[in-house]
């Protein structure tokens, strides 16, 4: 029967689309309805849920690629192991914690446990942007920072008030090293007031402090 033949054709087309998403996407862009074979209709429906999911996956992959290329932020900053004196200094002020790579690494590890690591990543990306002098590089990095941390569509969006967002939108008309200064300060303040006190009481900080305190005894 024709119905069973069509279903069999759709199954084969679905399998092909899943194995070669790039080819399927190209076919869709040229109007080939076979790329939309996961739908149970022959119309080219842009609101199709399966197409939406595929586009979201592609967007996440593109964002990750941009982040690695433009921000260049490693999983962990290179730094020597902190001394007991340094770790004690972190408890004196948030500024002292953020001043050293070892302090940022420890704090970032804690933020990861609270699912708010994007705050540190955004702050670090802004610091990196400030070091740039090439106009085209600045514009590209500013655009990627916006996509990764400011856009409401990003899973790593940081929490900013409407005033700061308006400032950023104006600044993005002509990006510079200081496009995100207001936002960076707001996120720094948020980490200071909200996350820093919990970090000081966390097992991550206490275990590190204890391990360094016990070293002289072991020697």
Q: What is the pLDDT of residues 38-68, one digit of tens each?
A: 433 333 343 344 444 444 444 544 443 334 3
Average pLDDT, the chain: 77
Q: How far is CA 178 from CA 18, 70, 126, 138, 157, in A?
A: 43, 17, 8, 10, 19
Q: What is the pLDDT of residue 10?
A: 52
Mean pLDDT across 149-177: 96
Whether residue 201 is predicted with pLDDT greater than 70 in this model: the reply is yes
Helix (H, G, I), strand (E, B) or coil at 47: coil
> In the prediction, which pLDDT does 92 show?
97
- For the domain bounded by 84-213, which CATH number is listed? 1.10.167.10
Q: Which residues of 43-80 are buried (b: 16+ CB within 10 A; e: fewer)?
A: eeeeebeebeebeeeeeeeebeebbeebbeeeeeeeee
pLDDT at 79: 75
Confidence at residue 77, expressed as pLDDT on a 0 to 100 scale:
74
Enter the pTM of the model.
Answer: 0.64
């Amino acid at each position: 029967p024709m119905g069973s033949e069509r279903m069999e054709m759709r199954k084969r087309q679905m399998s092909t689309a899943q194995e070669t998403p790039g080819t399927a996407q190209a076919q869709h862009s040229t109007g080939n309805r076979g790329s939309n074979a996961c739908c149970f209709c022959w119309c080219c429906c842009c609101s199709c849920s399966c197409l939406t999911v595929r586009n979201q996956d592609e967007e996440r992959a593109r964002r990750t690629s941009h982040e690695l290329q433009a921000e260049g932020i490693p999983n962990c900053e290179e730094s020597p192991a902190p001394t007991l004196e340094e770790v004690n200094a972190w408890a004196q002020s948030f500024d002292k914690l953020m001043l050293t790579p070892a302090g940022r690494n420890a704090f970032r590890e804690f933020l990861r446990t609270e699912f708010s690591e994007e705050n540190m990543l955004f702050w670090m990306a802004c610091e990196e942007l400030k070091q740039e002098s090439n106009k085209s590089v600045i514009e590209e990095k500013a655009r990627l920072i916006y996509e990764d941390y400011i856009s409401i569509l990003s899973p790593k969006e940081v929490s900013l008030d409407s005033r700061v967002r308006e400032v950023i939108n104006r600044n993005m008309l002509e990006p510079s090293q200081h496009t995100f200064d207001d936002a960076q300060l707001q996120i720094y303040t948020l980490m200071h007031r909200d996350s820093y006190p919990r970090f000081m009481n966390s097992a991550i900080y206490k275990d590190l402090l204890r391990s360094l305190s016990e070293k002289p005894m072991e020697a």
